[in-house]
Chains A and B, each alone.
Chain A
Amino acid sequence: KAGVTQTPRYLIKTRGQQVTLSCSPISGHRSVSWYQQTPGQGLQFLFEYFSETQRNKGNFPGRFSGRQFSNSRSEMNVSTLELGDSALYLCASSLAGQDTGELFFGEGSRLTVL
């Protein structure tokens, strides 16, 4: 099985712009979670989607949003980018339903905001 795939892998934006990141989960996985990883704060939970519905949400401002499509692929969007949004954004999928809780991670999308 192919692993979790995230695109783009690297991107550079300027303050005020918006960005969309994409995640393709492992085939058969219906839950997709997003995390922000920074050196100082570890992995911060953004949100989790299951069957196109947002089930869980972390403590991030409304500039951070996401969605999930019927094929379980997910996107996250960050609007009005700030310097502090520079981070590695990780996507993880899991077998919800038989929820073992184990997450399978992608390699991440590294966002730099100038």
Chain B
Amino acid sequence: AQRVTQPEKLLSVFKGAPVELKCNYSYSGSPELFWYVQYSRQRLQLLLRHISRESIKGFTADLNKGETSFHLKKPFAQEEDSAMYYCALNDGAGKSTFGDGTTLTVKP
């Protein structure tokens, strides 16, 4: 069975501070990991995926297979980063499992 855990439901930081949203997973195969973001009054959308190894809006995430983690990081948070963030695991056969989400608030 695949499982995704996001230990923090709420995370609050000040503008300009570093931010890290934690994600741990359990899966017996080789996972595809994603971060999705939902801004206020917008639909859920892809932020980044581990296979592309790119930085989107200043966010990066590294897959650590030893620790089964895929934490999302940004060195300097901006107010526009305030949103709900979901970590997701895709099994390559059509099923994506999501964590419970972390609400990030960036204070001015």
Contacts and interface: CB of A to CB of B under 8 A. Distances in A.
B94 A50 contact: yes
Residue of A35, A48, A94, A103 contacting most chain B CB atoms (<10 Å): A103
Given A92-B96, A106-B43, 10 more contacts: A42-B100, A48-B94, A56-B95, A90-B44, A101-B90, A102-B46, A102-B49, A103-B96, A104-B46, A105-B43
B79 interface: no
Contacts, number: 59
Interface of B: 32, 34, 36, 43-46, 49, 86, 88, 90, 92-101
A107 interface: yes
B32 A101 contact: yes
19 contacts: A3-B43, A31-B94, A33-B94, A33-B95, A42-B86, A43-B101, A50-B94, A55-B94, A56-B94, A56-B95, A94-B94, A100-B49, A101-B49, A101-B92, A101-B96, A102-B34, A104-B45, A104-B46, A105-B44
